[in-house]
Amino acid sequence: MIEAIQKNQELYVRYYAFFLGGLGIHRFYVGKVGTGLLYLFTGGLFLIGTIIDFSTILFGKIKDKEEKTVTPKTYPILCFDVNSSA
């Protein structure tokens, strides 16, 4: 059985931006593939874009590709319930 578990997605985006921001992983995660590729090939726009993105994330203003603010309920994570019987 698969169930949707709500995780704190904004926290994940913060971690991705802080640790992998130069690769644009946080951009891919929120669905912005174009800017994710741009960040990947330019080192996060020479880390200036990464710093701006990280500050935007800290203030809770990061948006996904549909211009919705990333909140804890924006992206459910699917996982398997190993305790349930079939």
pLDDT for residue 2: 35
Judge whether 51 lies within some domain: yes
The residues, ordered by sequence, that sit 6+ positions from 51 with a Cβ below 8 Å of its Cβ are: none
What is the C-alpha separation between 85 and 78, in angstroms, rounded?
18
Domain tally for the chain?
1
Judge whether 85 lies within some domain: no
Judge whether 34 lies within some domain: yes
Judge whether 56 lies within some domain: yes
pLDDT for residue 51: 92
- Tell me the residue range of the domain where 7 lies: 2-80
**What is the gyration radius of the CA atoms in the chain, in angstroms?**
15
Judge whether 39 lies within some domain: yes
Question: In which residue ranges of the chain is pLDDT below 70?
Answer: 1-8, 71-86
pLDDT for residue 79: 44
Judge whether 20 lies within some domain: yes
